[in-house]
Chain A
């Protein structure tokens, strides 16, 4: 097999900025010439970076969809590629932008516009993981063998992703960012205050409101609280009474140890020792917040590691680090790929060891959980599998699956099976034998998923040996 390449796009619609990158993933067979193939992604290169533009808004509550599609079209033209060349990728809508009224409509439309197989994703947990990977925090955590948290401080939100080795341990999100207050640089007039900051102003009894002119001294009490909450978010400093106010969805679980910190997001470029002369030149509080974080206890108590990307971390993460490949011995029928947005239904390890009929019963019951308004939606059935299984194990799995998934088979939904252990090809052959003739199925291994994840499977690469896969982790236990 020759090396193969996947062209992937990442688009980040953030609170303040929108960016796009194109990256080229090289897929390589690492096994010797006569061995069973062992195919992995060997190289991830960013081959095109767009300009960073302010996210176009039609109004304070609506995204300007036309302006964004035009931006994407312009960037594709500048990069000299057709959208049909793009094989994988992700549009991620983040921060406050995700809460705009037409957010989901815009991302859905854009994902189709950006390329046929580009997936639209949202959710603060996923954003935290993507930003952390884009910032290279997982690499730092692996190299140093420390628990390292990435703090992606953007315009509207701060996303935390805690890594131990390559594994993500936990995520968190706070409504803290550089553009919670917008100020016209020339007149020093406040044009926007985020809802949560308005609440804070009220509780602090400050007389700050939209339309007034402001000095940095007047803003300082607000900055102090924001910095304090960021300290608290990784377990540092005295607990702020406003901590809970700024939590977007949840904080980090306190039982995890945090050794080091990386920073990304726009504010990561503002972590200055000295306050610049014109602190309001970006028309927001980014420079003040960055200066505050630089002098916070985070820098005193934790080791700060450099990050690979700062303001581009999320978009690079979306373009380069969402796609993975399956194991190299898998089975699938032709013509059913790509498949998008399949919810994962993971069978517990203890249920996996049940005899054929009980296994079938468990599978059937769990498939029924995914009945939405009495309509069955297709799911990807996930198993841990057995290390070095016997042939009778394989037969038992296959029989249990085919019997249990009869409801899906009756509806002629393609059967999607994922196992973690290396056994997908044998299991796939077994399924082939037990399924009706020409029944479409995919059976892949070496992909780790949990309940609550969603998965996208792309068209085969590397001479059909592997499938590109994007696992979208949305929930943490």
Chain B
């Protein structure tokens, strides 16, 4: 099967999917194929581009043939992005599901393996650093290198970043550069504005951007800067639902080797989860709480519960 045949086949399948009428479903396979031949000629002439399958809302895509209760199934689907009701062909997924799965998987891979647009930290005016990792491959295979800075980098941070701040912001690529590109521009001003409510703040020139960053990198930054609270925005390992999910890992006076329980995390920051600006507002309130109570993680939770 050459590329042209494949393209026309996919076109037909997609046309069937968008056609809600049962008539299309009852058409036999042979009919579809014979109808495909003239369609191939048409498409060569028109030069149309296929619709972007990743734009289809999975919560509304329902491919099950002859469902007993379509409305009921769609209602169930409205609560989850899981690929339910995708139907099947014999023992396999339908082509549309397979293509979408591969497209989403590719987006996840891209998010991991590509770098954050080098222009982004410059536009934002962040102070740029890199962990001891020298390449993406090393970053992925040696998590420990992604938590450390070289002596030169440490010296540069000390020289350029205002020491002993109440709040030290850090932005790290982590496992999804797409997440950083999608959310950082919105969340930074939202956090800054929120902090003003509590009489706190930070300047964007003091925000440390870290390439090849693991969450633990914030611990060394805490020690180097002497900050009260370190808040690190980091791209989360992408899944098939979204490749753009970011988290904030926040710790009061973090130190290298401290227990993970000392971190407070705000996760699921993306347009299908918590919107970046609203998350920023929430983080600002959280930062104020930590500065006041001098606690984070489990200790903060315990203090809050005791007070409630």
Contacts and interface: CB of A to CB of B under 8 A. Distances in A.
Interface of A: 1-2, 33-36, 145, 329, 331, 387-391, 393-394, 422-426, 428-430, 432-433, 463
Interface of B: 71-72, 75, 185-186, 189-190, 193-194, 196-197, 264-268, 271-272, 274-282, 284-285, 301, 304-305, 307-308
B271 A429 contact: no
Contacts of A389: 275, 277
Given A425-B285, A429-B196, A1 B304 contact: yes
Nearest to B274: A36
B199 to A, nearest CB: 12
Contacts of B276: 388, 391
Nearest to B196: A433
B308 A1 contact: yes
A35 B281 contact: no
21 contacts: A2-B308, A34-B267, A35-B266, A36-B266, A329-B278, A329-B281, A388-B276, A389-B277, A391-B189, A394-B277, A422-B275, A423-B275, A425-B281, A425-B285, A426-B193, A429-B190, A429-B196, A429-B197, A429-B284, A430-B193, A463-B307
A85 to B, nearest CB: 19
Nearest to B308: A463
A145 B73 CA distance: 11
Contacts of A394: 190, 277
Nearest to B280: A426
A389 B280 CA distance: 12
A52 B277 CA distance: 52
A66 B284 CA distance: 53
Contacts of A36: 266, 268, 274, 279, 282
Nearest to A390: B186
Interface of A is mostly: loop
Given A34-B264, A36-B266, A390-B186, A429 B193 contact: yes
B185 A391 contact: yes
A456 B272 CA distance: 30
B190 A391 contact: yes
B233 to A, nearest CB: 14
With most chain A CB atoms within 10 A of its CB, the pick from B186, B189, B265, B277 is: B277
Given A329-B281, A391-B185, A463-B307, 20 more contacts: A1-B308, A2-B305, A34-B301, A35-B268, A36-B266, A36-B274, A331-B281, A388-B276, A390-B186, A390-B277, A391-B280, A394-B190, A424-B278, A425-B278, A426-B194, A426-B280, A432-B196, A432-B197, A433-B196, A463-B304
With most chain A CB atoms within 10 A of its CB, the pick from B72, B197, B272 is: B197
Top 3 A-B pairs, shortest CB-CB distance: A425-B281, A388-B271, A426-B281
Nearest to A35: B267
A391 B308 contact: no
A51 to B, nearest CB: 38
Given A1-B305, A2-B308, A390-B186, A429 B274 contact: no
